[in-house]
Amino acid sequence: MTENTTYAHSVEARHIVSQNEKLHETNLDLRKNLSEVENERDKYEEEVESREKQVTYLRGLLKNFVAMKKEQDTITCLAKTIEKNNSRKQKQYHKYKQACELECLLFKVAIFVWFVADKFYTLPNSTIITSAFVLAMSVHFMTRRYKFGIKNEIERHDTQTITTKKTIENCAIEIKSVEKACDFLNEYVDVI
């Protein structure tokens, strides 16, 4: 019986050893497969992170493009405003020039009329001097008031133009800062 027991133990032991070897091989295969799966998972996680970064940077780039477009539209609008102001200023300057020419013409006509009146009617010098003074002062005040209004209008246009140019400069600075941010994003996108 001891022989049978020893034999049974040795068969059982061989069977257990054989099963342990199979389990050990299976365990090694499973560990190898698990390691490969973990490597693939890590690889996919890195790709997903890379794609998320790309998407984030591209969104930032798009936001920068939108900001640049907005600033460019503002600059275009302000440039049109400056152009309109310059056109109005030219018109006002032309009116001012016409007023000066009118004043000169009225003085010339008044002097001509006085010489003619003096020639035909021989008016006393005091009447001619007084009427010339009254006429000169009325023409002067009329044209001065008109010139003053035109001068104020031209100054207002100049002030608006200066303010608009400063706003355009600020927009240009904003565009440059956005472009600097875009350079970094462009370099990153190029690397990707």
The total of structural domains in the chain comes to: 2
Please indicate, yes or no, whether residues 78 and 56 belong to a single structural domain of this protein.
Answer: no
Query: What one-character-per-residue DSSP string does 117-186 give?
Result: HHHHH---HHHHHHHHHHHHHHHHHHHHHHHHHHHHHHHHHHHHHHHHHHHHHHHHHHHHHHHHHHHHHH
Asked whether residue 81 is domain-assigned, the answer is: yes
* Domain that includes residue 100, residue range: 70-192
CB 117 within 8 A of CB 128: yes
Residue 141 to residue 137: CA distance in whole angstroms: 6
Please indicate, yes or no, whether residues 146 and 107 belong to a single structural domain of this protein.
Answer: yes
Asked whether residue 158 is domain-assigned, the answer is: yes
Please indicate, yes or no, whether residues 106 and 157 belong to a single structural domain of this protein.
Answer: yes
Its pTM stands at 0.51
Please indicate, yes or no, whether residues 34 and 127 belong to a single structural domain of this protein.
Answer: no
Q: What is the pLDDT along the chain (192 residues), one digit of tens a residue?
A: 455 555 556 777 788 888 889 999 999 998 999 899 999 999 999 988 888 887 887 787 778 778 778 888 888 888 888 788 778 878 877 877 787 777 778 777 877 777 777 777 776 766 667 776 777 777 777 766 666 666 777 777 778 778 888 888 887 888 787 777 766 655 665 555
Asked whether residue 65 is domain-assigned, the answer is: no
Closest to 74 in 3D by CA, of 164, 176, 9, 6: 164
